[in-house]
Structure 1
Amino acid sequence: MAELTTLARPYAKAAFEYARDHDSLTQWSEQLGTIAAVSMEPRIQARLTDPARAAQEQVELLAGVCGDTLDTATRNFLAILADNKRLALLPQVHHLFVQFKANFEKSVEVEVVSAFDLEQDMTSKLSAALGRKLERQVNVRTTTDSSLLGGVLIRAGDLVIDGSVRGRLKKLAAAMNS
């Protein structure tokens, strides 16, 4: 996986810089997300990896499925990827683009998993506290998992804060066993 990310990075960076310079980060993010999702569909993937298909054919296939959602610049970006036989990197390009965009906008997506539904007031307080700690604008997505027993599990990128009862019990068991 790291190899694909390494190969995708220059393309994602180029797309990000173009989008930033043309004030179209959100538009590019949406378009790359659409293309990445389409490229992962098994029938499309089979056609994109078919060595008998020309690069232009592959671009037309993707653009045709995506329809009017793609602008000229994005189609040109697809053509560059196709010419370099890098269309398989589209999911990684999109993922990296989203990371570059979040860093530029100083925002972070945070997933909060709790044993019970959180009230809006609690979610707002948690978002504000995380925003101060991470020094970023925080976009919170909440889910429930009754196996946590209580407390919350917070994921923000590679940062994980496990304040769940289940997590504390695991730590206690590990401490008692050592």
Structure 2
Amino acid sequence: MAELSTLARPYAKAAFASAQQSSNLSGWSVALATAAAVSQNEKIGELLDNPQLTSEVRAEKFLSVCGDFEQPQQNFIKLLAENHRLALLPEISELFEILKAEAEATLEVEVLSARPLSEEQTQRLTQALSKKFSREVHLHNAVDESLLGGAIVRAGDTVIDGTVRGRLAKLAEAMNS
């Protein structure tokens, strides 16, 4: 949802700035992922929606479930509670990961193939994608046997359809036009 993204973006940027300043991107990444998971729990959702609790009490109860967070991360959660934005944590975490990947010049790539990729295929594809995107690529392979052959590569907003079905569809489109 665009609205959630718009609301979450300033918080994600603030968390990212704090993480960069303290050279603790991975620590913040783990903390935000944990907080996002906790915020999606049904019982925690009831806690967050309880109008009888003050923002301080909400933050303290929320932090007690999350575990050991460093002081800046605790302050961030308290700020979110104060502004009634704890429900935005999944979106904040997602936006933070995008900022982190950009800063580290990394790219998460999902490859959906008809069969598992061999080690050699994985290395060649990783090298080719690293060169294409000018970033370090982290490749994740999933198998979908319904594909006749080939693969679908998803890298951020980019989708490369190299499946047999995709090629046949392009051929049919070219013949019909």
Give the TM-score of the pair, scaled to structure 2. Answer: 0.95
Alpha-carbon displacement from aligned partner over 1:115-157 (angstroms, at most 9, x marks no partner): 0010111101100100000000000000000111100100001
CA contact (8 A) 1:114 1:150 kept: yes
Q: Could you tell me how far apart the structure 2 residues matched to 1:26 and 1:56 are?
A: 27
Amino acid at match of 1:48: L
Q: Which residue of 1 aligns with 2:49?
A: 49
1:34 aligns with 2:34: yes
2:164 aligns with 165
Identity %: 50
Instruction: Give 3-state SS (helix, strand or coil) of 1:53's partner.
Output: coil
* Most deviating of 41-50 and 115-124: 41-50
* Alpha-carbon shift at residue 169 of structure 1 (Å): 2.5
Partner of 2:128, secondary structure, is helix
SS in 1 for 2:153: strand
Q: Distance between the aligned counterparts of 1:18 and 1:155, measured in 2? A: 30
The alpha-carbon distance between structure 1 residues 52 and 170, as it changes in their structure 2 partners (threshold 3 A), is farther
Residue segments in structure 2 that go unaligned for 5+ positions in a row: none
Q: Structure 1 residues 45 and 174 mapped into 2: Cα distance closer, same or farther (>3 Å)?
A: farther
Which residue pairs with 1:58 in the alignment?
58
Q: How far did residue 45 of structure 1 move?
A: 1.3
Q: Residue 149 of structure 1 aligns to which amino acid in structure 2?
A: L
Does the 8 Å contact 1:147/1:166 carry over to 2? no
CA distance in 1, matches of 2:41, 2:173: 43
1:177 Cα shift?
Answer: 5.2
Number of residues of Structure 1 aligned to a counterpart in Structure 2: 177
Shift of 1:76: 0.4
SS state of the match for residue 4, structure 2? helix
SS in 2 for 1:140: strand
Secondary structure in 1 matching 2:66:
helix
Match for residue 153 of structure 2?
154
- CA–CA distance in structure 2, aligned partners of residues 177 and 38 of structure 1: 52
Q: Is the CA contact (8 Å cut-off) linking 1:108 and 1:139 kept in structure 2?
A: yes
CA contact (8 A) 1:29 1:98 kept: yes
C-alpha displacement at 1:175, in angstroms? 4.2
Moved over 3 A (4+): 172-178
Q: Is the 8 A contact 1:15 1:97 kept in 2?
A: yes
Q: How far has the Cα of 1:172 moved from its partner? A: 3.3
Specify the code of the residue in structure 2 equivalent to 1:65: V
- Alignment root-mean-square deviation, CA: 1.2
Deviation for aligned residue 1:73: 1.0
Aligned ranges 1:6-155 → 2 under 5 Å? 6-68=6-68, 70-155=69-154
CA distance in 2, matches of 1:120, 1:106: 23
